[in-house]
């Protein structure tokens, strides 16, 4: 229990640090997950005190939270260019490449990040890894042709030297359904030697909507540990 409380405190500290980037009038993307939730909470406090921003959510859950806090929300259709997105991650490597999608929101998260001039990642130090892949890589797929898409993915993984790794349908017999109506296949790869190559190979598979490798999106990461929040920038 105490360890969990400590971790929540670290997530909040990372979120508080990211809030320093937010200027009045900014157009913001709001991430998804327990760390992003802290950021939205803190932003809500600022808005309640009169701070002006306009935001787009990366999930229905975040939209509901933000609406509940009175944060002015809109859509990418009405505001297709954003100044900054703040989001969590499941893994962050030294080049600020990310694995995301543990909360199942990777597609909207990537669309929102791609519409943003900058992306800040907020994590506790446990998410920082020397190499991506210990966290199972989420891949969002359309339900139609699931078995065929999965076989295709397994063949692609084998071709990249990642054969035999479990590829599991999230939720099993009661599949998890994303906000976009898709399924998620979680790939337990152990380690990803070449994230760029894997990202390109997965994107080329029909039926794959997107994957949780975020490469070239994060400009800065705020990493909270017991002592401090460290700022890491992509060179
Ligand atoms: C959701 C995500 C989250 O940002 C990621 O899973 C981290 O979540 P948390 O902050 O709860 O650890 O990508 O799709």
* Domains of the chain by start residue, with CATH: 2-128+215-226 (3.40.50.1360), 137-211 (3.30.70.260)
The CA R_g of the chain, rounded to the nearest whole Å, is: 18
- Decide whether any atom of ligand 1 lies within 6 Å of the 109 Cβ: yes
Question: Along the 235 residues of the chain, how does pLDDT read in single tens digits?
Answer: 468 889 999 999 999 999 999 999 999 999 999 999 999 999 999 999 999 999 999 999 999 999 999 999 999 999 999 999 999 999 999 999 999 999 999 999 999 999 999 999 999 999 999 999 999 999 999 999 999 999 999 999 999 999 999 999 999 999 999 999 999 999 999 999 999 999 999 999 999 999 999 999 999 999 999 999 999 999 7
- Decide whether any atom of ligand 1 lies within 6 Å of the 102 Cβ: yes
- Decide whether any atom of ligand 1 lies within 6 Å of the 213 Cβ: no
What are residue 229's DSSP bridge partners?
Answer: 224
Nearest to 167 by CA among 181, 182, 183: 183
**Residue 140 catalytic?**
no
H or E, element range at 48: helix 34-48
Task: Give the Cα separation of 124 and 3 in Å (integer).
Answer: 13
Strand order in the sheet with 27-30: 54-57, 27-30, 84-87, 119-124, 218-224, 229-233
pLDDT, residue 1, reads 46
pLDDT, residue 226, reads 94
The length of the chain, given as a count of residues: 235
SS3 content of the chain, % helix, strand, coil (to 5): 35, 25, 45
CA 37 to ligand 1 center in whole angstroms: 10
**For the whole model, what pTM was predicted?**
0.97
CA 31 to ligand 1 center in whole angstroms: 8
């Amino acid at each position: 229990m105490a360890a969990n409380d400590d971790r929540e405190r670290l997530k909040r500290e990372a979120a508080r640090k990211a809030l320093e980037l937010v200027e009045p009038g900014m157009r913001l993307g709001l991430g998804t997950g327990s760390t992003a939730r802290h950021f939205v909470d803190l932003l809500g406090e600022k808005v309640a005190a009169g701070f002006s921003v306009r935001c787009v959510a990366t999930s229905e859950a975040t939209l509901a939270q933000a609406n509940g806090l009175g944060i002015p929300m809109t859509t990418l259709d009405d505001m297709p260019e954003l100044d900054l997105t703040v989001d969590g991650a499941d893994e962050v490597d030294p080049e600020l490449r990310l694995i995301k999608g543990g909360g199942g929101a990777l597609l909207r998260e990537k669309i929102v990040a791609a519409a943003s001039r900058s992306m800040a990642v907020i994590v506790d130090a446990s998410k920082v890894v020397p190499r991506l892949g210990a966290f199972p890589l989420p891949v969002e797929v359309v339900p139609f042709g699931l078995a065929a898409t999965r076989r295709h993915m397994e063949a692609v993984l084998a071709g990249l030297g990642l054969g035999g790794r479990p590829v599991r349908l999230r939720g099993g017999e009661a599949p998890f359904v994303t906000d976009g109506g898709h399924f998620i296949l979680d790939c337990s790869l152990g380690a990803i030697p070449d994230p760029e190559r894997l990202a390109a190979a997965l994107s080329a598979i029909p039926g794959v909507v997107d994957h949780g490798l975020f490469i070239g999106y994060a400009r800065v990461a705020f990493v909270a540990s017991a002592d401090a929040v460290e700022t890491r920038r992509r060179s």
